Amino acid sequence: MGSVNVRDAAELFVGAFAGLQMMSKAFTDQNDLSQRLTVFFEHTLPTIAVPAILAKLRVDPERGKQLDAELQRHAVLEDEEHLGEAGSNLLDVAP
């Protein structure tokens, strides 16, 4: 939306996320973080998102779990790729 100050919104989201992580860690060892984030998004996104986009967003806890699993798989693949590159680089080094 044109009236949204992007920097302010970004700082709000970063600060809120940090606070939600700390609360979730303190109360449930982060077992409820997805639920806390869902509540946060449900309350804040309608104030900054264009309605047409807002209608398409999935902010439920299950979506968060799916994204987390996907990111974890991607990180493992990247690590394996970097280890493979490091191994091949070692083979290229002359004694």
What three-state secondary structure class fits 38? Answer: helix
Kindly report the length of the chain. Answer: 95
At 63, the pLDDT band (50, 70, 90 cuts) reads confident
Burial tier of 36 (Cβ tally within 10 Å: 0-12, 13-18, 19+): buried
pLDDT of residue 86: 63
Compute, in degrees rounded to 10, the torsion defined by CA atoms 44, 48, 52, 57: -40
* Strand ranges inside the chain, DSSP E: none
Which one of 28-37, 55-64, 85-94 scores highest in mean pLDDT? 28-37
pLDDT at residue 95 greater than cutoff 60:
no
| Residue of higher predicted confidence among 5 and 61 | 5
